[in-house]
A and B are shown apart, each in its own frame.
Chain A
Amino acid sequence: MEYGVCGNFKETYEKDMEIYQTKFHKFCLYGFLVLLYIFPLFGGKYLLYVANLMAIGVIGAIGLNILTGFAGQISLGHGAFIGIGAYACAYFTSNLGMSFWIAMPLAGVVTAVIGMIFGIPSLRLKGLYLAIATLAAQFIIEYIIVHWEAVTNGVLGKMVDSPHIGSFAFNTDKSYFYLSVTIAIILTIFAKNIIRTKTGRAFVAIRDNYIAAEIIGVDIFRYKLYAFAISSFYAGIAGSLWAHYLTLITPEHFTIGVSIEYLAMIIIGGLGSILGSIFGAVFMIALPEFLRFISGVVSQSYPAIINIFAALREGVFGLVIILFLIYEPKGMAHRWNLIKAYWKLWPFSY
């Protein structure tokens, strides 16, 4: 095992920007990836189902975190953008007969363009006013999804086939897991690298102080639109994957509740942190499943709990968010770093 140094001895920018700070770090990461890929061999159907949702959630959460966490533009319409991606991909594959592998990136691009259109008000709007403009986007898109029946099939929902390569179809939880996790990993690496480039630094500059950013020569409007585009692209991909995993999508899947859930993911995980988006997504998707498990156990002794389970789950969901915000305002990623720092100097952490 290699020990990290006690101080910060980086002498070049390249050194500071490195993804793998130590060899041990690199080893852990690759180890984790290997475990991830052999997980389906051991995990049951239910665990794989949850893992698929998590992988899709991670993609969506990273997208939102780029917009809200890095560029500082609060969005309450992420769920609707995921919906656009889902319906666009479904339309391309079912109605136009495209292959999923072309339709998915195309759906991402369509969502990115629509995201940019709804990002235009951000030129003049800030903070709360922008948050509410994106809320309007959520309702307008939801309305279009319900009423544009030629494309979306309205409230009845739209059937989608599972993606396939040649004759091999990704129609089981296990095979789909490889698909969603691979795409999630690619997009995570992509996001991690975006924020290390000029674009990423421009996002952070706009978030921290947009006037100062403008003075040092960042074209605010252009980079805000980039942020909306990248974020919506991620939402589009997440939506495509979700649509082809569920194989039946209805407007119910893309309500304001979904937007809120994604916002909760990145706040609980940690704003402005890719790792935080992953933690947040995993946590927020595991939470309802955990509550279901708990209520299953409790209902054996108190059967009445089944009736109020839905309400109880919502309450616990809200309470967890509140407690996190009060006691862990910087998110799980921050706590993770503290834990790492503690072990780095263990047992001499004075």
Chain B
Amino acid sequence: MEQFIQLIITGIVLGSIYALVALGFVLIYKSTSVINFAQGEFLMLGAYICLQMVVGFHIPFWIAFFLTLIVCAIIGLLIERLFLRPMIGEPIISIIMLTIGLSSVIRSIIAIFWGTQTKVFPQIFSEKPIHITKHIGISEVYIYSIVFAAIFLGIFTLFFKYNRSGIAMRATADDQQAAMSMGISIKKVFALAWCIAAVVAAVGGILIGNINGINVSLSFYGLKVFPVVILGGLDSIGGAIIGGLIIGILENLCGGYLDPIIPGIKEVAPFIVLVFILMVKPYGLFGTEEIEKV
């Protein structure tokens, strides 16, 4: 029983990180209908920039953290302006391919600047686990990741519901032409979406970097997050969070109970579940069903 609870709790914290990464995906998809295969690389880029500031330039962590967010916001804007804007109106597959191309460019830039060895952040969060009950504890960095996921969830839910830009983003996602005719600047909406996605990814990247250290394999999180977004529905923010938690718990339970019997099942279990979910609910748990006409 104790093992079960421990697995669930580590699952929740892992899931909250997935949720953070998935948020960036969903934000971009929700407002621009683009699926971003470079999300994992955004994550990595954020982590490396923060690392560079802390270790290379000796900036205190929390200042570096906010500077990183600003830098990533600018990078997000640049990427949208340079690469995504010329692609407006192209078929989905071309845009998918473009983000894949983008991901290898970012990976290569990172490898050239920082090399491929694993790097670690200096100790920022306390190592000492915080005890919930007598035997079950979580380390501090996990608490932060849950807190950040919760904060972002709150902010974005309100943002999309009440803020003018948020509503404009939703309108754009729904129907670009109609949105344009209502006087919404699509370009601004797209720029904003990429900007936010880069920032959210950077937060995720810095947190993961503090847990596992940073290396090129961090970008794999970008692929791991697909089951999460699909489970929750590609355009649902709440779905991203819930999907993240479910996949996180599932992965941990599989790791804990099935791994001794079937080695390595932990890595593919989310994908197997993903296929079955898609068979039953093709738009995920909370995704909007598309209604199509000839």
- Which residues of A are at the interface with B, using a C-beta cutoff of 8 A? 68, 74, 120-121, 124-129, 131-133, 135-137, 139-140, 143, 146-147, 209, 211-212, 215, 256, 260, 263-264, 267, 271, 308, 310-322, 325-326, 329
Asked if B87 is an interface residue, CB under 8 A from chain A, the answer is yes
Asked if B230 is an interface residue, CB under 8 A from chain A, the answer is yes
On whether the beta carbons of A211 and B278 are closer than 8 Å, the reply is no
The chain A residue with its CB closest to the CB of B273 is A136
The chain A residue with its CB closest to the CB of B95 is A325
The chain A residue with its CB closest to the CB of B29 is A128
Bound complex: CA A311 to CA B115 (Å): 9
Asked if B275 is an interface residue, CB under 8 A from chain A, the answer is yes
Given contacts A124-B279, A126-B290, A127-B92, 6 further A-B contacts (CB under 8 A): A133-B275, A263-B97, A311-B111, A321-B100, A325-B101, A326-B83
On whether the beta carbons of B272 and A260 are closer than 8 Å, the reply is no
On whether the beta carbons of A322 and B98 are closer than 8 Å, the reply is yes
User: Could you say which of B86, B94, B100, B226 contacts A132, with CB atoms under 8 Å apart?
Assistant: B226
On whether the beta carbons of A128 and B35 are closer than 8 Å, the reply is yes
* 29 A-B residue pairings within 8 Å (CB atoms): A120-B279, A125-B282, A131-B92, A132-B274, A136-B226, A136-B274, A139-B271, A140-B275, A143-B267, A147-B263, A147-B264, A212-B294, A263-B97, A267-B97, A271-B93, A308-B111, A311-B107, A311-B108, A314-B111, A315-B107, A315-B108, A317-B101, A318-B108, A321-B97, A321-B104, A322-B98, A322-B101, A325-B98, A329-B94
Q: Closest CB-CB distance, A119 to chain B, in whole Å?
A: 12
Hey, which chain B residues are within 8 Å of A271, CB to CB? 91, 93
Per DSSP, chain A at the interface is helix
Hey, which chain A residues are within 8 Å of B279, CB to CB? 120-121, 124
On whether the beta carbons of A136 and B271 are closer than 8 Å, the reply is yes
Q: Closest CB-CB distance, A255 to chain B, in whole Å?
A: 11
Bound complex: CA A187 to CA B171 (Å): 47
On whether the beta carbons of B86 and A326 are closer than 8 Å, the reply is yes
The chain A residue with its CB closest to the CB of B284 is A129
Q: Closest CB-CB distance, B250 to chain A, in whole Å?
A: 14
Asked if B268 is an interface residue, CB under 8 A from chain A, the answer is yes
The chain B residue with its CB closest to the CB of A139 is B271
Report, nearest first, the 6 A-B pairs whose CB atoms are least far apart. A315-B108, A318-B104, A311-B111, A321-B101, A318-B105, A136-B271
Asked if B175 is an interface residue, CB under 8 A from chain A, the answer is no
On whether the beta carbons of A131 and B268 are closer than 8 Å, the reply is no
A121 and B105 in contact, given A127-B92, A267-B93 (Cβ under 8 angstroms): no
Bound complex: CA A147 to CA B262 (Å): 9
B residues 68-102 near A (Cβ < 8 Å) are 83, 86-87, 90-94, 96-98, 100-102
On whether the beta carbons of A133 and B100 are closer than 8 Å, the reply is no
Asked if B292 is an interface residue, CB under 8 A from chain A, the answer is yes
Bound complex: CA A165 to CA B223 (Å): 44
Hey, which chain B residues are within 8 Å of A135, CB to CB? 223, 226, 271
Hey, which chain A residues are within 8 Å of B294, CB to CB? 209, 211-212, 215
